[in-house]
Structure 1
Amino acid sequence: MEQIVNIGVVGIGNMGSAHGMSLYKNKVKGCKLVAVCDSDEKRLQWAKSNLKGVKCFNDYHELINSGIVNAIVVATPHPMHPVIVEEACKNGIHVLTEKPAGVDVKTVAHMNQVAKESGVVFSIMYNQRTNPLYTELRRVFQNGDLGQLVRFNWIINNWYRTDAYYASGDWRATWDGEGGGVLMNQCPHNLDIWQWITGMPIRIRAFCHKGLFHPIDVEDSAEIFAEYENGAIGIFQTSTGEYPGTNRMEISGTRGKAVIENGKLTITLLKEDLMEYTKNSKEFMPKIDVDERTIIQEEPESAHIGILQNFSNAIRKGEPLLSPGEEGIYGLSLANAAYLSWWKNDFVNLPLDEDEYLHFLQSIKNSNHEKHIKTLCEDGSYGEYSNRWKVKW
């Protein structure tokens, strides 16, 4: 008989309830939802009404030690991710955590070490790694088809949010609850895809804007300028205050360029390396022959279900992980470095000085009397994957 993963979901708010419902409806092969956990009684009542026969806990310690699960999905507020992951790992329980991996690199590095020593399967919900356009661009870039990196640009400002969104939870848009704003909530996927394709830069300079569009004490707009070891430049722009916004990634290399926008990947390749052509050509402004091909994304990526299925397969069959949990530290490093650059008004080198970041973060927390929008809005999205989490061109 094929092994079945008895899985629990810790945190059944927006994302956790969606994961729980997918598991409950058997959309993930080889997995059975046996337990959920949340400290909010309202969420537990939702689970009792919608997830019949699933054990409900209000304490994650009890779920982990219950003996009824051999894997969990962690979908709590960000600071709790490493705490719960570490406890699960120490108890031999496989873990899939929501993004981001945590709120600071030092804590996440420790979590990664605990996970490695435990030997459990540890994954992170980087569902955009299942997008076929990003996957193909990564293959093309890492194969060297584009040559050496010259410039990376990503405008990803179609994350529009209303004040009601920020009012939907006290933990949202706070340094204590989320560890930041748009870079820590909306953009972990994008920061991951950036480094997943091009690798990590060596230093960055960032400009973040606190409460530019919403009455919050964290950034809702940011620009990151990055420098690579070979002198290449990266530019990343994002916000939650523009509509309809843009999602356009462009990579220029010495052998051509690639653009992802509006559901298609266009790859333009030169016949020879541009650096050689530049040195050898006798023409001032030549028109160079190129080969161009376009890949259209005709089917949606497998997204959250794809990562859950890969997690299940890794436990049952040893399938390689699409998004290993320890890789969550890279995108988080970009976010942490961006904040440190903002606070210091200076360039920040990578790898990040973990202790310096924690010092500044604590200073920001101490100096902020965080405001949060209070409304009576009711979050009724439990159990659904909203379009808000899909790749929107």
Structure 2
Amino acid sequence: MKKVRLGIIGLGAQGGAYAGFIAEGRVSNMEIGAICDIDPEKKAVAAEKYPAVPFYDDYIAMLDSGDVDAIVTCVPHYLHPEMGINALQRDVHALLEKPAGVYTKQVRELNEFAKTKPELTFGIMFNQRTNELYQKVKAVIDNGEIGGIRRTNWIITTWWRPQGYYDQSAWRATWEGEGGGVLVNQAPHQLDLLQWIAGMPKKVYSNVKYGYQRDIAVEDEVTAVLDYGNGATGVFITATHDIMGTDRFEILGDKGKIVVDDSRKVTIKRLKRPEAEMSAEMDMQDVMKIFMGGGTDDIYNEEIIEFESVWGAQHTSVMENFAANILDGTPLLAPGSDGIQGVALANAIHLSSWLGKEVELPIDEDLYFAELTKKIEEEKGVPANK
């Protein structure tokens, strides 16, 4: 096999973008094996743009056809685990869109099945893991350059969506159709990066607003407080109603600080001595010298790096890495099994707000599913006690 034949399930905005990337030759080790969509109109689109590519309206038929070596799931979130399992059962490699699923119970089932197929490649489209900026941040943390983490803060409100976005289709921004709002649709990348870089918290307490500034059932405003269990804390804020938007990620360590602005610029300040050591040895005269214009050169070094991003480059990097793993065993940048972490974090934030209290991770998966089921029933107009 010289190129991986990818089956694209769902020819919407994302699936269409992937098809375009491959057709343009931007994924050197991949070709379009087949396209699948249940919408008859997409068949005409595929026939016009990719006339030589087989088209299916049933993804199982596509999996059984022999036309594809792997699939990517560009479909509603609930379907990701089911499609992943069905692909792996048929010895077809699986690349899942984010999030891996809506609730950890279904994602865990997928992960457990994937373990029985170690010879197959199972990946997830965490394209931000290929972003050089976040790779740099992770390396600085992993190398201990700013010491142990004391606090994380991420304000990511650049996900502005007008009411018209939600009105596009009946399944969008519903508990039954998407399983949530900004946490499962727009912010999964940041939830993954947060835990990938700083680790998973032990407890979560959240204040979540549902239909706060949009006529929707799910969340459009989130504030979550994270407890890492070792004294370190974090705050995660996201929303879809801030048209001006902010993307600022700060990580404070006991030997320095990282500040990421707009996912483009990272400022790294490395203390010349650990903060605790300075606290123990410096008197108020030393402090006054620093804060009265004495300069900070003796306190820390500062490094500022700006990164440029090309649209689609991060997605194609994941696709190329996924194909390389199939072809020659190149290590995966985003293993599919990692997808459960971000889902667990989103579930914990939801559950904390539903119960009105702090929750511990891992959460009670059966309790979460029961509460989610209540939300779906209420959305349908079914009394919660039925």
1:284 to partner: Cα distance: 6.8
1:186 to partner: Cα distance: 0.1
1:212 to partner: Cα distance: 1.1
1:13 aligns with 2:4: no
CA deviation digits over 1:184-232, x for unaligned, max 9?
0000001001001001010000111111121100011111110012111
Q: What amino acid is aligned across from residue 171 of structure 1 in structure 2? A: W
Q: Compute the TM-score of the two structures, normalised by the length of structure 1.
A: 0.91
Q: What amino acid is aligned across from residue 322 of structure 1 in structure 2? A: L
Q: Percent same amino acid at aligned positions?
A: 39
CA distance in 1, matches of 2:285, 2:371: 51
CA deviation digits over 1:284-340, x for unaligned, max 9?
772361100111113437211111111111111111111111101001111000000
Q: Which moved more, 1:259-268 or 1:187-196?
A: 259-268
Partner of 1:189: 189
Q: Which moved more, 1:181-190 or 1:113-122?
A: 113-122
Which of 266, 283, 289 is the equivalent residue of 2:299?
289
Alignment of 1:306-321 (within 5 A): 306-321=317-332
Partner of 2:266: 265
Larger Rg: 2
CA contact (8 A) 1:21 1:51 kept: no
CA distance in 2, matches of 1:187, 1:239: 9
CA distance in 1, matches of 2:98, 2:170: 18
Counterpart secondary structure, 2:116? helix
CA distance in 1, matches of 2:309, 2:67: 37
1:241 to partner: Cα distance: 0.4
CA distance in 2, matches of 1:67, 1:249: 45
CA distance in 2, matches of 1:169, 1:127: 26
CA distance in 2, matches of 1:89, 1:335: 26
Partner of 1:323: 334
Task: Please list every run of 5 or more consecutive structure 2 residues that lacks an aligned counterpart in the other structure.
Answer: 291-297, 382-386
Counterpart secondary structure, 2:18? helix
1:73 to partner: Cα distance: 0.8
1:8 to partner: Cα distance: 0.6
CA contact (8 A) 1:131 1:300 kept: no
Alignment of 1:17-32 (within 5 A): 17-32=16-31
Q: Structure 1 pair 284/353, CA: closer, same or farther in 2 (3 Å)?
A: farther
CA distance in 2, matches of 1:299, 1:334: 27
1:57 aligns with 2:65: no
CA distance in 1, matches of 2:286, 2:189: 39
Counterpart secondary structure, 1:295? strand
1:48 aligns with 2:47: yes
Partner of 2:362: 351
CA contact (8 A) 2:273 2:299 kept: no
1:236 aligns with 2:236: yes
Partner of 1:80: 79
Partner of 2:308: 298
Partner of 1:373: none
Partner of 2:295: none
1:48 to partner: Cα distance: 1.4
**Number of equivalent positions:** 369
CA distance in 2, matches of 1:196, 1:270: 24
1:337 aligns with 2:348: yes
Partner of 1:137: 137
Counterpart secondary structure, 1:357? helix
CA deviation digits over 1:50-78, x for unaligned, max 9?
11111010011100111111111111100
Counterpart secondary structure, 1:63? helix
Cα RMSD (Å): 1.4
Q: Which moved more, 1:274-283 or 1:329-338?
A: 274-283
Q: Structure 1 pair 284/171, CA: closer, same or farther in 2 (3 Å)?
A: farther
CA distance in 1, matches of 2:234, 2:310: 28
CA distance in 2, matches of 1:171, 1:112: 26
1:169 to partner: Cα distance: 2.4
1:279 to partner: Cα distance: 2.5
CA distance in 1, matches of 2:284, 2:109: 56
CA distance in 2, matches of 1:107, 1:285: 57
Q: What amino acid is aligned across from residue 272 of structure 2 in structure 1? A: K
CA contact (8 A) 2:173 2:218 kept: yes
CA distance in 1, matches of 2:244, 2:60: 43
1:116 to partner: Cα distance: 1.8
Q: What amino acid is aligned across from residue 143 of structure 1 in structure 2? A: N
CA contact (8 A) 1:35 1:69 kept: yes
Alignment of 1:90-239 (within 5 A): 90-119=89-118, 120-239=120-239
1:280 to partner: Cα distance: 3.1
CA contact (8 A) 1:157 1:242 kept: yes
1:25 to partner: Cα distance: 2.6
CA contact (8 A) 1:29 1:312 kept: no
CA distance in 2, matches of 1:202, 1:41: 47
Q: Structure 1 pair 108/299, CA: closer, same or farther in 2 (3 Å)?
A: closer
Runs (4+) of structure 1 moved beyond 6 Å?
none
